[in-house]
Amino acid sequence: MGSIDAQIALLAICALFFLFGTGIWIGMSMIGVSIAVMWLFAPAKPAGDAMATVVFSDLSSWTLTALPLFIWMGEVLFRTAISEEMFRGLAPWMQRLPGRLVHTNIIGCTIFAAVSGSSAATCATIGKMTVPELRRRGYPDAIAIGSLSGAGTLGLLIPPSLIMIVYGVQAEVSIAKLFAAGIIPGVLLAGLMMSYVAGWSLLNPSKIPPADPAMPLTEKLRESSSLIPVVLLILLVLGSIYAGVATATESAAFGVLGSFAIAFWQRRLTLRNFWDSVMGATRLTSMILLILAGASFLKLAMGFTGLPRHLAETIAAMGLTPGMLILVLAVLYIILGCFLDGISMIVLTAAIVLPMIEQAGIDKIWFGIFITIVVEMAQITPPVGFNLFVLQGMTGKSIFWIGKVSLPFFLSMVLCLLLLYFFPGLVSFLPDMMVNAAR
Amino acid sequence: MRSALKTLYEVTGVLGGIFMVLLLVFVLYSVGPGVGLWIEQTFGLPNPTPYVARSADEFAGYAMLASAFLALASTFGRGEHIRVTLFVQRLQGTPRRLAEIWCLALGSLLTGYLAWFSVRLCWQSYEINDLSTGLVATPLWMPQVGMAVGAVVLCIAVVEQLVVVATGGPLMEEPSGEEAAHLER
C-alpha cells in the first residue's frame, strides 16, 4: 500500500462530499465515486458487473428484511389512535412529578420507541397529541418542544431500531443482540432526560401550569387501560426476540400483524389506511435501499484501494487508545451528522471505521450502541436533522430555534455516552444473558 | 407522453407495494414451522404447521429487492430520495436551475449505468441458466427482472425530469416537513 494510493483514495472521499454538497442523491453519488475508484484501482475488473452482482446479493439478504417490516409496522401504527390513547393513559400519572405533563413526551416516546424503529416517526406519532395538549394547557414551547425532539430520538436506541438493523448488517453482528443491548442505555437516557425536565421545573416553578383536577385511583387505572394494546405489542415484538423464539425479521412480521390487530380493534383498519401504509413503507424502503445499494458498491470499491486496512494500521501505529479513538470518531460523526442522515452516515463510514474498531479491540456491539446514540445527536443538530424537520412542520418554529431548545437533551446524550464508556456493562449485560439468541 | 410516463411510475410503484405484501407473506410462511413447534412444545398441542418452509427466507429477500427497486421511480417522483439540499436551496433563479440540471444530468448517467448493468446481470443469468443455491433452486433471472425493470424505470424518470427542467419547466418538489415524518430514521 503506497501513500500515493492512499492519497488517491482520500481524493475519492473528497469527490464524494463534493457530489453530496452539490445535491446529487446520496445513493447515486456513492455509485459515481465507486465507478471512478474501480477504474483507478482495479482497471482489469468489470466494475459494472461487479456492482450489479454485489447489489443483488446484499439487497436480497434475509437479515435485512427486518428493515421494511419494521418500517411498515410504524406506518400502520402512525395511522391508528395510538397517540391519543397513550396520552390519555399516561397523563393522570404525571401530574405530581415536577414538570408534570412534559413527562408524557419522554415516557410516551420511550414506550412508543419499543414498537417503532425510527426517531422521526416516534417524534411525529407522540407529538401529534402532546404538542396541542401541552400548548392548550400553557406549557412553555421551549421545554415542550425540546423534550419531544430529544426524546423522539429514543426511537433509534430502544429496540426495534432501523439504525441497528443497518449497522448490524454492515458489521455482521447479531441484530437480536444489538436490540437487547439498546434497552438499558435507552431507559438510562430517558431517565437522564426526565431528570433534566424535573430539575428545570424545580428551578422555574412559575413556568409550569397547575395540575389538572385530581382523579380517583380507579379512574386513573381505567384511563391507563388504553395502554394495554401497546404493551401487548411490545411483549410480542421484544419478548419474541429476547426469548430467542424469533429472529429480528420474524418478530418484525409478528409486529406488522400485531399492529394490524390494534388498527382493527380501533376500527382504523380501512382498505385505504392499509394500502397507504403499504405504499408509505415501500417508498421509504426504496429510499433506504438505494443508499444501501450505493454503499455496497462503495464498500467493494474501497476494498480494492486498501484504504480501510491502511487507515486501521495507521491508527494502530499512532498508538491511539480506544478511548481517544472513540472521542475522535464521536467528533467526526457529530460533524457529519450536521449534514447527513444517520443511515447514510453509517453505511458511508462502515467500510473504513469497522476495521479500525476491530483493530483497536473495541466490542462491536458496544460500538453499535455508541454509533446509535451519536446518530440520535445528529437527529437534533441543525441544519440537517429529521426530528427538526418533523417538528418544524408540526409547530412552525425554525430549525435553529428547535435545535437550541433541544440542546439540553443533546447534552443528556453526551452524559449517557460517558456513562456507557465508563460502565460498558450497561450495554453488555442484557446481550450476554441471551444464551440462545436466534441467529 | 408525460401522462403515459406518470402512469408507468405509478404502476411500477404499485407493483412494489404488492411485493411488500408478498415479503410479509414469505416471512410469515417461513416462521410457520417454528411457531408450530413452539406451540407443540409449550402447550403440548399437536403441531398446527408441520411443513418445511423451503427457501421462504430466500424468496423474502427477493421480494424485498423487487419491492424496493420497482418503487424507485415513484419515490424519485415525490422527491423522497435523500440528497443534501442545504446549499442548492440557497440558490435562486438561473443558478438554481443550472444546479438542478447538473444533478439531473449526472443522475441520468449514474442511473443509466445502474440500469444497464442490472439488465445485463439479469440477461446473463438467463443465458447461463444460473440457479440459486437454496433448497428450491430458483432461476436467478426471475428476481433480477424486478431489479432490472425498477432500475430502467428510475433512469427514465430521471431523464424525463432532466428534460423538464432543462426546457424551463417546474423544478422538482421537495417533501414538506409533515411528509418528512415518513422519511423515518
Tens-digit pLDDT profile for residues B92-141: 889 999 999 999 999 999 999 999 999 999 999 999 988 888 778 888 89
Look at residue A276 in the predicted model and tell me its pLDDT.
95
Q: How far, in Å, CA of A20 to CA of B175, rounded? A: 18
Buried-state track A346-385, b at ≥16 Cβ within 10 A, e below 16: bbbbbbbbbbbbebbebbbbbbbbbbbbbbbbbbbbeebb
Q: In this predicted structure, which of A5-14, A84-93, A99-108, A126-135 has the lowest mean pLDDT? A: A5-14
Least confident of A43-47, A151-155, B74-78, B130-134: B130-134
Contact between chains at A275 and B57 (C-beta distance less than 8 A): no
Strand ranges (E), A66-148: none
Q: How confident is the model at residue A436 (pLDDT cuts 50, 70, 90)?
A: low
Q: Which grid coordinates are listed for A197?
A: 425536565
| pLDDT tens by residue, A364-402 | 999 999 999 999 998 898 887 888 888 888 888 888 999
Using pLDDT thresholds of 50, 70 and 90, give the confidence band for residue B177: very low
Q: What's the CA gap between A94 and A108, in Å, rounded? A: 11
B127 touches A at CB < 8 Å: no
- The runs of H, that is alpha helices, within A173-321 are 175-203, 217-224, 228-234, 240-242, 248-265, 271-305, 307-318
ipTM: 0.92
Q: Which pLDDT score is estimated for B136?
A: 80
Residue B128, chain A, CB below 8 Å: the answer is no
- Is residue A30 within 8 angstroms of chain B, CB to CB? no
- The contacts of residue A273 (CB under 8 Å, 6+ apart) are A76, A79, A263
B42 touching A, CB under 8 A?
no
Containing A139, the helix (H) or strand (E) segment is none
Who contacts B121 (Cβ-Cβ below 8 Å, separation ≥6)?
A49, A52, A53, A56, B144, B147, B148
Closest residue of chain B to A123, computed from CA coordinates: B181
Q: Is A31 on the interface with B (CB under 8 A)?
A: yes
**Contact list, B98 vs chain A (CB under 8 Å):** none
B157 interfacial to chain A (CB closer than 8 Å): no
Report the helix count and the strand count for chain A, using DSSP H and E: 23, 0
Bridge partners, B139 (sequence order) = B131
Computed from CA positions of residues A324, A329, A335, A338, in that sequence, does the dihedral angle turn out positive or negative? negative
Question: Is the confidence at residue B180, as pLDDT, over 50?
Answer: no
What's the confidence (pLDDT) of residue A302?
Answer: 86
Q: Which of A158, A162, A179 is nearest to A66 (CA)?
A: A162
Q: Say whether pLDDT at B179 is over 50.
A: no
Cβ–Cβ contact A335 with B under 8 A: no
Domain that holds residue A161: 3-438
Farthest CA pair distance, chain A: 77
A157 in contact with B at a CB cutoff of 8 Å?
no
Residues of A in contact with B42 (CB under 8 A): none
Q: What average pLDDT score do residues A170-198 get?
A: 95
Establish if B105 touches chain A: CB-CB under 8 angstroms.
Answer: no
Contact B61 A62 (CB under 8 A): yes
Confidence tier at B174 by pLDDT (50, 70, 90): low
Average pLDDT over residues A172-196: 95
How confident is the prediction for chain B on average, in pLDDT? Answer: 88
A394 to chain B, minimum CA–CA distance in Å?
7
pLDDT single digits (tens) B41-70: 888 888 888 888 888 889 999 999 999 999
**Facing B177 at nearest CB: one of A287, A379, A389:** A389
Mind telling me how many Å the CA of A423 is from chain B's nearest CA?
27
Distance CA A103, CA A243 (A): 30
- Reported as half-sphere exposure (CB side, CA atoms, 13 A), residue A20 has a value of 20
C-alpha cell at A134: 401541552
Contacts of B133 (CB under 8 A, 6+ apart): none
Would you say the C-alpha torsion A10, A29, A283, A83 has a positive or negative sign?
Answer: positive
**B37 in A contact zone (CB under 8 Å):** no
Start-end of H helices in B89-172:
93-127, 141-166
User: H or E element: which one contains B20?
Assistant: helix B2-43
DSSP B139: B
pLDDT, tens digit, for every residue of B13-32? 999 999 999 999 999 999 88
DSSP string over A203-238: H-GGGSPPPPPP--HHHHHHHHGGGHHHHHHHIIII
Domain count, chain A: 1
- Partnered with residue B131 across adjacent β-strands are B139
Q: Do B120 and A20 count as a contact with CB atoms less than 8 A apart?
A: no
A356-370 average pLDDT score: 92
Q: Closest to B117 (Cβ–Cβ): which among A48, A62, A69?
A: A48
Residue A179 vs residues A251, A378, A412, B102: alpha-carbon distances, Å: 12, 20, 21, 41
Q: Which residue of B has its CA nearest to A376?
A: B185
Q: Could you tell me if B185 and A343 are in contact, meaning their C-beta atoms sit under 8 angstroms apart?
A: yes
Closest CA relative to residue B115, chosen from B144, B141, B74: B144
- A14-35 mean pLDDT: 93
Longest dimension (CA), chain B: 73
**DSSP state letter for A65:** G
Q: Which residue of B has its CA nearest to A254?
A: B28
- Asked if the model's pLDDT at residue A439 lies above 50, the reply is no
pLDDT at residue A408 above 90? yes
* Minimal C-alpha gap between B167 and chain A (Å): 20
The minimum CA-CA distance between A385 and chain B, rounded to whole Å, is 10
Among B2, B8, B153, B130, which residue's Cα sits nearest to residue B66? B153
> For position A418, what pLDDT does the model report?
95
Structure confidence at residue B48 (pLDDT): 82
A205-247 confidence digits (pLDDT tens):
999 998 888 888 898 898 888 899 999 999 999 988 888 778 8
Closest-CA residue to A133 (of A144, A123, A119, A147): A144
Q: Which residues contact A29 (CB under 8 A, 6 or more apart)?
A: A16, A19, A20, A294
Separation between Cα atoms, residue A129 and residue A112, nearest integer Å? 13
What's the CA gap between A291 and A181, in Å, rounded?
26
Torsion of CA A362, A366, A368, A369, to 10 degrees: -150
> Would an 8 Å CB–CB cutoff place B43 in contact with chain A?
no
The residues, any chain, with a CB within 8 Å of residue A352's CB and separated by 6 or more, are: A302, A307, A308, A311
Given a cut of 90, is residue A307 above it in pLDDT? no
pLDDT at A256 over 50: yes
Across the interface, which of A48, A279, A384 has its CB nearest the CB of B86? A384
Chain A contact for B78 (CB, 8 A cutoff): yes
> If residue A50 lies in a helix (H) or strand (E), which one and from where to where?
helix A47-58
The SS3 assignment for A293 reads helix
As given in the structure block, the three cell numbers for residue A50 are: 461487479
Q: How near does any CA of chain B get to the CA of A379, in Å? A: 9
Residues in Cβ contact with A412 at an 8 Å cutoff, skipping those fewer than 6 apart: A150, A189, A192, A193, A196
A287 and B183 in contact by Cβ < 8 A?
yes
| A285 Cβ under 8 Å from any chain B Cβ | yes
Judge: B31–A246 Cβ closer than 8 Å, yes or no.
Answer: yes
A216 CB near a chain B CB, below 8 Å?
A: no
Residue A24 to residue B176, Cβ atoms within 8 A:
no
Task: Please report the pLDDT score of residue A396 as a whole number.
Answer: 86
**Is A293 an interface residue toward B (CB < 8 Å)?**
yes
Q: Do A121 and B116 touch (CB under 8 A)?
A: no
Chain B nearest CA to A292, separation (Å):
11
CB A57 within 8 A of CB A322: no
How would residue A30 be classed by pLDDT, with cut points 50, 70 and 90?
very high
B54 backbone φψ class: left, alpha, beta (φ>0; ψ -120 to 50):
beta
Cα A346 to Cα A372: distance, rounded to the nearest angstrom: 9
- Closest-CA distance, A341 to chain B, in angstroms, reads 8
Say what the pLDDT of residue A392 is.
87
Q: State whether residue B55 sits within 8 Å of chain A by CB.
A: no
Distance from CA of B118 to the nearest CA of A (A): 6
